[in-house]
Amino acid sequence: MTRRGDRGEWPARGQSSARGEQPAWREWPARRLSGLRARRVPQARRGTYLALVLAAVGALLAGIGVWLIREEGAEDKEPGAAGTGLPGNAASGSYPDGECAPSASLEPRCGAWWGAYVPYARNGSLKDAVHDFEAKIGRELDLVYNYHDMSNTPRDGVLLTPDEQELGQDRLLMLAWESTVWTEPHHENWTETQLGWANVAAGKFDEEIIDPQARRIKAYGKRVFLSFDQETDFRTPDAGTPEEFVAAYRHVRDRFERLGVDNVVWVWTVSGYLGNAGLMKALYPGDAYVDWIGMDQYNYYLCHDSARWLDFDRSQRPSYEWLRANISDEKPVMLAEFSTAPDPERPDRQRDWYRRIPEVAPTLPRARAFVHWNRPVPGEHCDLTVNEGPALDGYREAGRAPYFNQPVPTR
């Protein structure tokens, strides 16, 4: 996608954001720092390239049709029915009850979900990566966040992979679904081809891409979070206009509902970068189409060559308050990606940054899911993980707080 940074227009160091409460540079999302994601097929070739992509998708579907696309009417079968490739016990158990039981839209009533995005293990297993991460942090995650494209390939384009299905038996799943086709496995270098919001809204991908995934989620049975084109404010203009995004988002949700998919909790995710305030307003599909609002905010510190360190509160509160005041004060908020870069001169700062989260979280009362981004981004001082050292110590401690230990529904 084209973005300000690709045109040499990064906000100046120390420049104020829309509210004047924090420097705008630090709000850029972690996965957009490298510039690698901006490598695009030239405009003149896009139509041809898109046609080739769609042809490849069609050929793939023809070869694995039974595996991905169920016969009409098959969506009414019980989860785990023969031929679905889905676990029979994915939606087992009863709904939690009691005063702390989550709502139908998976909003916990007595605290917040503790989640993470964890990149695939070297052996290609998401399950192994999550289990290894949980062993480090000393607890099971409430929520596992994973990303998918619309290629329909088993590698990245199938929602609810076998690993996700297994992890989802004891955890909530958050699926980010991008209207793109990724160039490399698991979006390794973030190069991709946009399919276009206008095309999505026009229904061009319904039968071959959207419908099969909708049926898979329905067969799974358990409620899942789904974010269509997360960080959408950084996808314009390559993917289309704000009006086209709204139409595409609404079309995808309407399509799911037409197929009887009632176990999706819809998340609208933006970066939260306040320099995009007007753009974020234009991109909102409306309260009737959104169940949660997601934002991705970080303390980048030296990763962006700034001398200003932002603690957890100052890195999250301005965008949280802006979204509540300007987008919707009715919807719960998900910190869909958060993390801090290290301070090489003061390593303990990372420990303290995470340690303070349980203190700050209740003062952001509608922030009901805290999802850590556990992946480095290119650049010096840009290790955003909590895999070791003071960062791990602080994150482990935060995860033990009662506020982040809520009953996770089994369906």
So what's the pLDDT on residue 85? Answer: 56
Residue 208 forms part of a structural domain: yes
So what's the pLDDT on residue 97? Answer: 76
Q: Are 257 and 200 in contact (CB under 8 A)?
A: no
Least confident of 7-11, 116-120, 233-237, 373-377: 7-11
Residue 132 forms part of a structural domain: yes
Residue 28 forms part of a structural domain: no
Does the predicted TM-score (pTM) go above 0.85? no
So what's the pLDDT on residue 87? Answer: 56
- Could you list the active site residues? 231, 337
Residue 313 forms part of a structural domain: yes
Q: How far apart are CA 294 and CA 312, in angstroms?
A: 17
DSSP 12-63: PTT-B-TTSSSBGGGGS-GGGSSSGGG----HHHHHHHHHHHHHHHHHHHHH
Tens of pLDDT along 93-102?
Answer: 566 778 899 9
Residue 25 forms part of a structural domain: no
Least confident of 14-23, 234-243, 258-267, 301-310: 14-23
Identify which has the larger pLDDT, 309 or 58. Answer: 309
Residue 9 forms part of a structural domain: no
Least confident of 28-37, 103-112, 297-306: 28-37
Q: How far apart are CA 354 and CA 334, in angstroms?
A: 17
Range of the domain at 77: 42-404
Q: Average pLDDT, stretch 119-145?
A: 97
Domain count within the chain: 1
Residue 341 forms part of a structural domain: yes
Q: Are 40 and 238 in contact (CB under 8 A)?
A: yes
Q: How far apart are CA 13 and CA 198, in angstroms?
A: 36
Identify which has the larger pLDDT, 74 or 261. Answer: 261
Tens of pLDDT along 273-285?
Answer: 999 999 999 999 9
Note the Cα 270 to chain centre separation in Å.
10
Q: Average pLDDT, stretch 138-149?
A: 98
Banded model confidence at residue 30, pLDDT cuts 50, 70, 90: very low
Which percentage of the chain shows pLDDT scores above 70? 77
Pairing of strands 224-228, 192-194: unpaired
Instruction: State the Cα angle at 209 between 208 and 215, rounded to 5°.
Output: 100
So what's the pLDDT on residue 10? Answer: 30
Tens of pLDDT along 305-329?
Answer: 888 999 999 999 999 999 999 999 9
Identify which has the larger pLDDT, 58 or 377. Answer: 377
Residue 65 forms part of a structural domain: yes
Reading the block at residue 335, the tokens are 């910190």
CATH number of the domain to which 137 belongs: 3.20.20.80
For the chain, what is the mean pLDDT?
83
